[in-house]
Structure 1
Amino acid sequence: MINSIDLQFFMVIARASSLAAAARLLNVTPPAVTQRLAALEARLGVNLIDRRGRHLTLTDEGELLLERSERILAELGDITDRINDRRGLIAGHLRIAAPIGFGREYIAPAVRTFKHAHPDISVSLDLSDNPIGQQPENRDVIIHIGELRNQPFQMQHIAPNRRILCAAPAYIARFGPPATITDLAHHQCLILRENDEDVSLWRFHAAAKPKTKETVRVNGDMTSNDGNVIRDWALAGMGIALRSEWDVAQHIRKGRLVEILPDWQVDDAPIVALLGPRHFRAARIRHFINHLRTCLTPVPWNAMP
């Protein structure tokens, strides 16, 4: 016989790169994982993991157990959520993923106040430069900046967010401001690498006439996958950056950065929450989304001193 704890244990192993990695996730020693896995295999009478290679490989029986484990645990979680909903109880584990900079600045404080209001909730918050790429099936809520097309998630709008072309006064004093969009090709531009987008092709539309569009291939020998790094380089006068309003609004108000070509805009990148097909039914997730909207209304980056 196996139980839900066995299924949870096996799912951790199946998704880990090694037994040592699984042990770290489970906060136990590698020998303890090996012994527990061997006991599970003995009870089932089959091998679940092929240990001959450098990486863990599931046997056919292991693949079957993983598939059924995911389904059974999802059903158990759904039953618990429905019962808690009927009781009016906001409880359970909330798994959130968010971008590093925005997550640290705004999501972490919202999680803190949400936990304070609902002590029966437990929370795991994972911050990365690519939250969608970090096992999205294991997350209840994924915070993303920008619209997403052709993706399997429910998308809940959380807060508006413009993207702003800006540079430090020191850079403008040294090189002068670009007079037109095409002038950007002759400036040092700070390029953020993210997802699989063509990150050096910047697309603009006229603020007064949205159907009037311009595209420019920018040049720059300074790139990073971290938006905070791009912002800090811009603040240091290293070049022109295209950054989210949440990240640079206070610096523009204080004169550390200057908006460039304000008559031209790029598409907005709203703050959205992505949820799996069943997740929005859980009370804890609905309440967290509403709490997050409250925390970001009005948007705090426009109210900062």
Structure 2
Amino acid sequence: MLSTDDLRFFYALASQPSLSATARLLDVTPPSVTQRLQAIEDKLQLKLVNRHGRGMALTEEGQLLAERAHAILAEVEALHIALHEQRHELAGRLRVLAPMGFGSAHIAPLAAEFRTRHPGLSVELELSDRPNQRLHEGWDVVVHIGALRDSSLRQQVLARNRRFLCAAPAYLARHGTPRSMEELARHACLALRENDEDATRWKLLPPGASQYRTLRIDPPLASNDGRIIKQWVLDGYGIMLRSEWDVAAELRSGALRQVLPDHMLAEADIVALMPAHAQQRPLRTRRFIDFLKQEFTAPPWLLRGCDNHAPR
């Protein structure tokens, strides 16, 4: 009779193009993979894999075993998690997707802390500069910043996050401080190209106006990495539009100054996204979201005294 270890081994083998690739995946020698496969075939008295050249192909029986192994292992994992959840313990794997910059600065340390508090849990955090393109890949939680067009996902606000126009004092000393959107349009406005947003359209609400106005910028410098944009601005190359979480420290220290502080910008809240169709979300998911909300009750990036945020 096959053990669950046999099923895990064969399911891993079935995901690879060759026995040598399986050996690399499992960090074992190729001969040990061959021996393990032979032992499973001997148990079943069936041929599971046909080898050809440096590759391999599953037989019909091997394909059936791989499919059933996946289902059985998923059931075993679900049973393991359910038994732990009966005692209100967290188990299983928590898969989290987050934006590159914010995820590195704020989600990564909290994910490690959450895992320390729940040793029966494993956490897999993946950071992406284009998380919008990967929302439906089976994540337990997707951390997202800003407006979301996809209505098939349920969202919970984790923290408020304002946005600011800012520049280095040296840039403003050389080029002057813009006092209106018309003056801003004549400045070097740098663009952060991320997700699917049009980075050259800045929307501002001037004082006394009832509707947002759009400024179309022509960026002399642009990048998909927020760290690069911020460094360019700190080096005095232009003006940027950035989230409070990313520039609060520099605004506090005076390394950056706000531009058009009396103009309102749409907020870009930090939210957790989950599949809307999930009737009963795993306890690990619910607890992790609650943990993030608690940790962000008083966000470390909160810049007090700056009131140029859009009305909700």
What TM-score, normalized to structure 1?
Answer: 0.78
C-alpha displacement of 1:45: 5.6
Q: 1:219 and 2:218 equivalent?
A: yes
Question: Aligned residues, how many?
Answer: 301
String of CA shifts for 1:31-62, please: whole Å, max 9, x gaps: 87788789989977677999999xx9999999
- Larger CA deviation: 25-34 vs 140-149: 25-34
> How do 1:164-179 and structure 2 match up within 5 A?
164-179=164-179
Q: Tell me, what secondary structure is at the counterpart of 1:219?
A: coil
Q: Tell me, what secondary structure is at the counterpart of 2:106?
A: helix
Check whether the contact 1:49–1:62 (CA below 8 A) recurs between aligned residues: no
State the match for 1:204 in structure 2: 204
- Larger CA deviation: 274-283 vs 169-178: 274-283
Check whether the contact 2:47–2:62 (CA below 8 A) recurs between aligned residues: no
C-alpha displacement of 1:274: 1.8
Structure 1 gaps, min length 5: none
Check whether the contact 1:41–1:48 (CA below 8 A) recurs between aligned residues: no
State the match for 1:190 in structure 2: 190
Amino acid at match of 1:294: Q
Separation (CA, whole Å) in 2 of partners of 1:215 and 1:68: 55
Q: Percent identity?
A: 46
> Radius of gyration: which is bigger?
2
- Larger CA deviation: 236-245 vs 79-88: 79-88
Separation (CA, whole Å) in 2 of partners of 1:21 and 1:118: 33
Q: 1:232 and 2:231 equivalent?
A: yes
What TM-score, normalized to structure 2?
Answer: 0.77
Check whether the contact 2:77–2:92 (CA below 8 A) recurs between aligned residues: no
Check whether the contact 1:191–1:220 (CA below 8 A) recurs between aligned residues: yes
C-alpha displacement of 1:20: 7.6
C-alpha displacement of 1:26: 4.3
Check 1:99–1:149 CA distance in 2 against 1; reply closer, same or farther (3 A cut): same
Q: 1:80 and 2:88 equivalent?
A: no
Check whether the contact 1:161–1:246 (CA below 8 A) recurs between aligned residues: yes
C-alpha displacement of 1:160: 0.7
Check whether the contact 2:234–2:256 (CA below 8 A) recurs between aligned residues: yes
String of CA shifts for 1:180-234, please: whole Å, max 9, x gaps: 223333211111111222221222234655x422111101121111111111111
C-alpha RMSD over aligned residues: 3.9
State the match for 2:125 in structure 1: 125
Structure 2 gaps, min length 5: 305-312
String of CA shifts for 1:78-102, please: whole Å, max 9, x gaps: 4433332222212222222222221
C-alpha displacement of 1:133: 3.8
Separation (CA, whole Å) in 2 of partners of 1:83 and 1:232: 50
